[in-house]
Every structure is written in C-alpha cells, then in structure tokens.
Structure 1
Amino acid sequence: MAKRGYHHGNLREALTGAALALIVQKGPQGFTLSEAARQAGVTPAAIYRHFAGRDDLIAEVARQGYGLFAAMLADLDETAPGLRVRAMARAYLAFAEDHPGHYIAMFESGIDIARRPALARAAGEARDLLHAGCAGLGPDTGEIAAHIWSLSHGVVELYLRNSAGLNHPPEARALLARALDTYLSGLAAPASHNSR
C-alpha cells in the first residue's frame, strides 16, 4: 500500500482533484499536503514528484481554473458587444457556481500570480478574452473590461457566495443584469451627458 504513489496512473491529476475537494471543504490554506495525498490514495512523499509544496499544488488548480474560464469565454456565441458583455458576466457567475474549488484557488488563495509564469499565462489568456469581448463599447477597452470584471466579481463574492453574510441576499443574476444595464446605458449615453 505504501508504494501506491509510485504506481499511480495519473498522480498529478489525482492530487489536483484531491486539492479541489479539500479547497471547497476547508479553504485553500485549511488542508495539508498529507491530507491531499491521503485523499488521492498516495504517500505524502509521492506529492513531491510533481509539486514543490501546497502552494504549488494550489497554483496548479488555479491555472486549470483560468483555463476552464477562458474556454467558457471562448465558447460564447454572442458577437454584438453589449450582448457579449452580458454573456461574459453570466459566464463568470456560472464558473463560480460550477467550479467553486477552482474559483477559490484563483481568487481567494493568496497565490502570487506574477511569480508563477504558467499561472500568469493562463490568467492573461482569460483576461485577453474579457478585453476582446469589451471591444467596441468605448475608447478604453481595458478600463471597460476592468469595470465588467470588477462588477461581476463583486456580485459573485458579495451575493452569490454571500461573503457579506446577508440573511436574504439579492438574487445574483438579476442583480448583475440590472447593474450591467445601468453601466452599458451609461457608456451609450451622448458625450454631453457624461461631461462634468
């Protein structure tokens, strides 16, 4: 039994799967490598064949998450800028709901993306898709993408995940749709209405 780790069919995949389950159960910093190894059915020493430590394992889960999120964005059918932005925001909420372990690893683990090139590339690809989806909405696509991402992320954190601890949080999708309507109508307003 002790040697199972050295003969595991796909140890890396088994360990990331174990980490995903533990992240959801205990949070990104709430489990040990020994727990991940036990859940994957391998010895703790076997982990070090693929990961330098827990943060390395969590970073791999986050990298996978950015890949999944980018794939969701790339699969969107909407081409009209306003409709595409709404579809991207809905995809953000769907991603957080459908992939909670990945979402937590990406945004709540404290992993420094800049110090992990593979993770930074994956995050950059998702960010580039968000930027491309905001093209045509205004002169500063990067700023608009930052607003859309921030708005979507805030709704996920405060209301979908209920980080605010509200007894009766508003329905996240309806709230996000109304917020996007307000934001996009502001972008479409004549310049004279936006001047100070």
Structure 2
Amino acid sequence: MPKRGYHHGNLRQALVDAALELIEEKGPTGFTLSEAAKQAGVTPAAVYRHFDGREALIAEAARQGYAVFADLMEYAYESGQPSALAAFEATGRAYLAFARKYPGHYIAMFESGISVNRSADLAAVAHRAWGVLERAAADLSQHIPADRRPPASMFSAHIWAMSHGVVELFARNSPGNTSPFPPEDLLETGIGVYLRGLGLIPPDS
C-alpha cells in the first residue's frame, strides 16, 4: 500500500488518514504508532508532536467520524421533513449508509473501546449525532397517547440497537453471517415491526 505522505504541513490529518487505513486493514488494536507514521511517510518521533499514543490517534479518528455521522444524520432528518415518519426512517438508513461508506471511522467509533467521554470535543460531537435520532423519535412519538408513550431516549436507543445489529451482523461482511435479505430490507422491516407495535403505522393488510 503506498504511503499517503502529507502536504502543507498537515501532519496531524495525515496520521489520522493513515490510522483509518490501518484500522480497516488490521483493526483498532492491530497496528502501532510506528506503522501509522510509516504509512504517513514520517518518522515515529514526529507522531508525538500531535498524539501521545495510539488511543489518542484513534480517538481523533472517532471524533472526525462522529462529525461526519452527525452531518449525515441531520441531513437525513431534514430530508424526511415534514413527515415525522419519513424523517425517522431516514435516520435509520443513514446509520447503515455511514457504516458502509466510512468503515474506518465506524470501527474507531464503535469497536475500538474508546469512550465517547474521553474528551469534551468527542463527547459533544457524539451527543450531537445521537441527538438527531432522539429528536426524530420524539417527533414521531407525539402520535402516541401520552400515557403509552415511551421516552424518546428509549425509543431512539431501540432503533440505534437495531441499526447497529444489522450493521454488525450483515452489512460489514461478518464471517459466517449471511442473510437472504439485503441489510436495508432487514432494517426497514425491523423498524416497521417496532413501529407497528407502538401503533404508529397500521398493520399489514
């Protein structure tokens, strides 16, 4: 694999880009800072001008991933307006699309063991991303009588868990896991079953 190198002195981003490639190739714990430096075309000592260790480098990759993820979620939410149902379903599809298009970021965010509370910046951007899904859930749940309405945080967590499960099992070529249905169909029908259970969409005729 050719070295990326860096331009205009942007060594910090070159190292993040190198880490993302290595994360995709070897997993979040399968590479060293020296390998990231080599991939970026610099000496290992140069890494420490920006990151104090591999976890800090992965955390920055995760932070950047959450920023992209939040933008995608917000775009999906807005694209579904003014229908609360369409906006909600769009955020679920955005999760799947993100995992496919940005696998290195996805792994750094969800499979590296890095806590979203590792830094204030990481926590803030992660909160922004999940806030979109919670807002979509809150909008849709207004159609449920108040005495039967689940908290928006629970509602969104259920869909997050469903989306994450489809991604992990069927959308990222997990060994030994195959499905006769496309991941998009699995997610859509799963969300449909959930929403029917809440009385938000009518049962199949």
Q: CA deviation at 1:188?
A: 1.9
Match for residue 106 of structure 1?
109
- TM-score, normalised on structure 1? 0.88
Contact 1:20 1:102 in 2 (8 A): yes
> Which letter maps to 2:189?
R
Match for residue 18 of structure 1?
18
Distance 1:184 1:7, change over 3 A: closer
Match for residue 194 of structure 1?
none
Match for residue 70 of structure 1?
70
Match for residue 147 of structure 1?
158
What CA deviation, in whole Å up to 9, does each residue of 1:72-106 have, x standing for no partner? 01112112221112111111010000000000000
1:179 to 153, 172, 190: 190
Question: How many correspondences in the alignment?
Answer: 186
> Which letter maps to 2:37?
A
Q: CA deviation at 1:7?
A: 8.8
Gaps of 5+ in 1: 191-196
Residue 88, structure 1, aligned to residue 91, structure 2: yes
Contact 2:80 2:86 in 1 (8 A): yes
- The answer to which of 75-84 and 91-100 deviates more is 75-84
- The answer to which of 5-14 and 19-28 deviates more is 5-14
> Which letter maps to 1:183?
Y
- The answer to which of 149-158 and 128-137 deviates more is 128-137
Match for residue 144 of structure 2?
none
Q: Distance in 1 between matches of 2:154 and 2:175?
A: 26
- TM-score, normalised on structure 2? 0.85
Contact 2:6 2:40 in 1 (8 A): no
Root-mean-square deviation (Å): 2.0
Gaps of 5+ in 2: 142-148
Contact 2:170 2:179 in 1 (8 A): no
Q: CA deviation at 1:186?
A: 1.5
Any residues of structure 2 matched to 1:114-129 within 5 Å, and which? 114-129=117-132
Match for residue 163 of structure 1?
174
> Which letter maps to 2:43?
T
Q: Distance in 2 between matches of 1:6 and 1:177?
A: 41
Task: Specify the SS of the correspondent of 1:30.
Answer: coil
Q: Distance in 1 between matches of 2:94 and 2:139?
A: 20
Match for residue 50 of structure 2?
50
Contact 2:12 2:50 in 1 (8 A): yes
Contact 1:162 1:169 in 2 (8 A): no
- The answer to which of 107-116 and 22-31 deviates more is 107-116
Q: CA deviation at 1:116?
A: 2.1
